[in-house]
Amino acid sequence: MQAIRQIIDRARAFERDAHGILGVHEASKSRVVLLEETYNRVAGLSLKQDELFREALSCTENALFRAAHVMAWAGFIDFVEEKLASDGFVRLRQVRPNWTLTTVEDVREYPEYQIIDAAQVTRLCSKPERKALHGLLSQRNECAHPSSYDPGLNETLGYISQLLQRLEAMKQRKYP
């Protein structure tokens, strides 16, 4: 029994080392494993958000880079919408009194650009972060609609990593 555990431990160590070595090469699929490690740092996502980010990683592994952008954004914006709803919409109603809000589904009726703006005025993100998020939304839009933008592995891994870093930063803020 102990011999089997040692073999399994050695195989896992080999796999970890191999991904570490191969992950520095641009065309290597092992780079996705490195992103998976980054993703594992972000705790406390809802089941839906977790699933959406995992689907983005799966799309990346299968070279479906435009789809990966769309799925990662979906996971991120779901987090933002849930966070804005977490205080019963108190802050959001203060800054957007004309918005009709009862459930998180109501928030999803508004354009994502406006939701990002609302995140900034409710102090879920800063002004520079809002501008960066608008840029990430624009990239997602290029991937979700016919365009000449054709991201590769590097762009996709960078995009997902940026979203996860921004999500992690928002989680650490006191909100509400």
- Listed by start position, the domains of the chain span 1-41, 45-172
- What pLDDT does 142 receive? 97
Predicted local distance difference test score (pLDDT) of residue 25: 47
The CA distance from 157 to 9, in Å, is 28
Q: Residue 28 has what DSSP assignment? A: -
Handedness of CA 133, 141, 84, 39 (dihedral sign): negative
C-alpha to C-alpha distance for 80 and 167, rounded to whole angstroms: 8
Q: What is the pLDDT of residues 19-45, one digit of tens each?
A: 555 544 445 555 555 667 767 776 779
Whether residue 161 contacts residue 38, with contact meaning beta carbons closer than 8 Å, is answered with yes
- pLDDT tens column, 73-111: 999 999 999 999 999 999 999 999 999 999 999 999 999
Predicted structure pTM score? 0.80
What pLDDT sits at residue 85?
95
The per-residue pLDDT for range 117-174, each reduced to its tens digit, is 999 999 999 999 999 999 999 999 999 999 999 999 889 989 999 999 999 999 988 8
- E strand intervals along the chain: none
pLDDT of residue 7: 77
| Contact in structure between 173 and 46 (CB atoms under 8 Å) | no
Question: pLDDT at position 174, please?
Answer: 85
CATH code for the domain defined by 45-172? 1.20.120
For the chain, the C-alpha Rg in angstroms (whole number) is 19
